[in-house]
Amino acid sequence: MIRLTRLNNQPIAVNAELIKFVEQAPDTVLTLVTGEKLVVRESTEQVMRLAIEYRRSLLVADVPSLAVAATEEDTKQSE
């Protein structure tokens, strides 16, 4: 989830995985895969940066488990 701000200054958490489009028209409009549209205060660049950071955090979190799986596979092959 990424934290954004509606135009009325109310915070909102958005599932970054559901964002289909981010448009600047002149406000930032998020279109979700569900078809729902959200207007937020953050710029398109800020939304994209937050979405990328979110995705990167998921990938980094998976790295230790991938390393363990690779080590286990190497051990099995050497036996």
pLDDT on residue 61 = 72
Provide the domain limits for residue 26. Answer: 2-78
Residue 40 CA to residue 17 CA, distance in Å, equals 17
The answer on pLDDT for 19 being more than 80 is yes
Q: Is pTM, for the whole model, over 0.75? A: no
Structure tokens at 17: 């995985």
Give the count of domains, the chain: 1
C-alpha torsion angle, residues 66, 70, 71, 75 (rounded to 10):
150
Stretch 65-74: mean pLDDT: 57
Name the DSSP class of 10: -
More confident residue, 17 or 74: 17
Could you tell me where the DSSP H helices lie in 1-79?
44-78
pLDDT tens for residues 25-52?
Answer: 899 999 999 999 999 999 999 999 999 9
